[in-house]
Structure formats: C-alpha cells, structure tokens
Structure 1
C-alpha cells in the first residue's frame, strides 16, 4: 500500500480520537451567536466588577440559543433586552437544533438563575453595575444522542482546562473582582486553581448549580443560592434591591 494510504488512515484515526465517545457534537455560540454575545459584553461589561459569577459551559436551550450565559430566551429578550442574529454550528445535532430567539423550549437553569437575581435587582443594570456573569468554557459538548457532556467529563479535559484557566485568569485580572462565585463545584475548583497564589486576596465562593440535574427543586435551589448571597453580604453589590 502506498504511503498516502497510511496517511489517510492516520487521519481517520485522529478524527475518531478527537470525536471519540462520548463527544459527537461541539457547539461554540460565541462564534455562531456572536452578535448577541458581543452585545451582552458591550452592554454589561464596560467597567471593573466587584463580583464575578462563573458558570460551567453553554446549555443546549440557553447559551447555545442566545449566546448569553444561562441565556433562557425569554429572559435575554425581555429582561436583558438583548437580541441579534444567531447562525448555526458547523455540525448540528438533530436532537439539539439551534433556533436562536425562536427557540420555544425553556432553559430551567437560566430561569432559576435569573429568578434569583431578579429577587434582588429590579433591572439588569442593578446586577451588572458591580457584577458580571461569565462561563468558564465557551463550548457545549454533546454525545450522539444530544446528551450534554461536561468539560470535566471530556477526553479533552486537560487541554481544555489549560486554555480556559488562562482565559479565566485574564478575565479576573481585567475585571479585578474582590469575589468570584463558582456556580457549581467545577468552576469553583477552577477558580481556586487559577487563584492558588491569590496575591489579590480574592474570595472564592461556591453556589450550587441551578440545573435540575443536581437534584434540587426550584424552590430548594432558590433558598440555598439565596443563603449564599445573603450570608456573604453580596447584596451590597446589587443596586436598587427589590427586597
């Protein structure tokens, strides 16, 4: 067999390794939903912040549709007042179509998170004046059935963490927060890793992730997350508090 045949096989093996189970689909909404994503940044991240909330990665019905972290369509459109053109990923999972702002499926994690914020803030500017919400990883991973694969479950974990840790450090250095809130154990862990020297004495807090998959009911999550906010006096960073 000519050498070209061996090279073709090597490339086939490489491609299978890069997309080996459980990963079959990769979405990057910061690329195909760049317009609303950049509007989010330009609208709400024009100054240093006191508190940085860090999520994990895009949800199929949230950021994958709108480009906004915890981006439940109705919240992004009606409360954050952000819209924009949303294209398509290079390889679309049939069970996880991207319909952008026409998506009618609810993103419960996003609904819960923003319900919590709206409990304390009458309008988005009350939250984003001194706080910002950022996702540790911009990529959404899915298996062949459309089931989410978390970055820490990926065979790309080490290389992903290297890049995402470096980016998180740059975001922290730029925004200079006094507090970082990891929404879930994984972003809390990565924030602690990034800040292991922590010369700035930045405090890292844990907030349970709002996904129903954690086993917390909506009310239970709101209560636990609310306690994190109140016990750590994060309300001092919210303007015009609703309560």
Structure 2
C-alpha cells in the first residue's frame, strides 16, 4: 500500500514540474497548486490515495476557492479541515491576481462544487478513511487560469489556444494514464463532461474498466442546483459502486 502511495507521489512531483515548462498566450494569471501547495497535496496523497481503489473520480481543474487555496482536489475549506483533517503550510504563486489571493486554510469562502462533492462522500462513507478504501479523487489538469479582469473570470483548459491546449493535454493524459495504471480502478468517473471525455480518451476502449460521468456540482450548472447529491448517488448505485442499502 505504501509503495502505491509513494509511486503516486513520485509521479505527481514529475507532473507538477512538467506543467511548469508550458507557456500560455492567454491574458491570465496561472496558478499551479501542485507547486505552492505541494505539502498539502502530498499530505492528501499520503493519507487518502491507496490501492486497491475501486473508483477513480476525476475533475477538470482546480477551482479558485477550492484546490487553488488548499491544494486538495475539490478542496472546499471545511471539508479539508473537518472531514479530511489535513493541515499543512500553503505558500503563494509567484504572481497573484489582486482579486484572488491565496489565503490557504485562512480562506473564508466555501467552494460550492467541493462542498457538494465532499459532503456526498462524507454522507455515504462517514469517515475519510472509509472513503479512501474505495475511492480516490484527482483533477485532470492541475492549473488554474484566471483572466486579468476585475472579476478574475475562470478560464477552463478547453478554452486555451489549440496548440497550447494540446500540449497541456499530452502531459495531463500521460499523468492520468499512469495514475490509472498504479491504482488499477474498475470505475473511472468524470465529474462533468470534459473530465469524462478525457477519461474516455485515456482509457482507450479498455474493457476492463467502466467509464461514466456524474453531473458537475458547480452552481453554474443549472441541473446541479437541485438534488445534485441524489443524482450523483443514483449514478453510483446504477453502476454498482454503491449498493441501495448502503446509501
């Protein structure tokens, strides 16, 4: 089990360095929490990424009030502190958007997507340790892109210039493929359409794994704003990941 975790940590360190070599033409501040929040991300991997894992959940990229602040995928502040019980120093990116400073564990704003996802995990598994026996959560892309506007509008990776997007996807595909190889999950679940598409591509028709998706829990997704937890839970039950009696 420890060998698995160490392999994931080693591969993630390389991943963090690889994305740092990329250059982007978008007029954005770009944050890499695998760099300035590495100690927290490593603690997350050390504590909650183990083998065997039945289900791998994959999101698109960090949110400005989630993983960008905490270094944990979908890392809503209260989930990180109270459910995952993680506490590690978090640094700063080299350049910060004035409207999006990194406050780490002092951040007061709750990321809705992360709150919904981790609350569902807590409701089902009760403890983070029990969660880690069956599931692991990652992001496909580790970078946050925030436009240089007053509102710091989030720019998702699929909106990057084609050549830059493909260069980023090449690195992210290789990382995701290696994580799948290390953890050997049976189910690959994309959180949202983009992550689902990337999982389909990386899985490349491997019939030993089932690829599916759940609605992205973002409040920007109208379908997620009523009964998201019930809809996501229904997917897990339909796939046989969760049983009717467990939920």
| Map of 2:173 onto structure 1 | 165
1:56 is aligned to 2:56: no
One of 195, 201, 204 as aligned partner of 2:208: 201
1:147 is aligned to 2:153: yes
| Map of 1:109 onto structure 2 | 113
1:20 is aligned to 2:25: yes
Structure 1 residue 26 displacement after superposition: 0.5
Structure 1 residue 47 displacement after superposition: 2.1
Structure 1 residue 49 displacement after superposition: 1.1
Which ranges of structure 2 fall in alignment gaps of 5 or more residues?
1-22
Larger CA Rg, structure 1 vs 2: 1
Report Cα offsets for 1:58-84 as digits up to 9, x if no partner.
110000110000101111011100011
1:226 is aligned to 2:233: yes
Structure 1 residue 219 displacement after superposition: 3.2
Structure 1 residue 217 displacement after superposition: 4.5
CA distance in 2, matches of 1:212, 1:101: 23
Structure 1 residue 119 displacement after superposition: 2.1
Structure 1 residue 19 displacement after superposition: 4.7
Which ranges of structure 1 fall in alignment gaps of 5 or more residues?
1-17
- RMSD between aligned residues: 1.5
Report Cα offsets for 1:22-71 as digits up to 9, x if no partner.
x4111011110111110000011132311100011111000011000010
One of 172, 187, 191 as aligned partner of 2:195: 187
**Contact kept in structure 2, 1:93 and 1:144, CA below 8 Å:** yes
Report Cα offsets for 1:187-238 as digits up to 9, x if no partner.
110111111141x5210011111101111354332221121111112115xx
| Map of 2:129 onto structure 1 | 125
Q: TM-score, normalised by structure 1?
A: 0.86
Query: Are the structure 2 counterparts of residues 19 and 176 from structure 1 closer, same or farther at C-alpha, using a change threshold of 3 Å?
Result: closer
CA distance in 2, matches of 1:102, 1:119: 25
| Map of 2:96 onto structure 1 | 92
Which stretch shows the higher mean deviation, 158-167 or 43-52? Answer: 43-52
In the TM superposition, structure 1's runs of 4+ consecutive aligned residues that sit over 4 Å from their partners are none
Report the secondary structure of 1:212's partner residue: coil
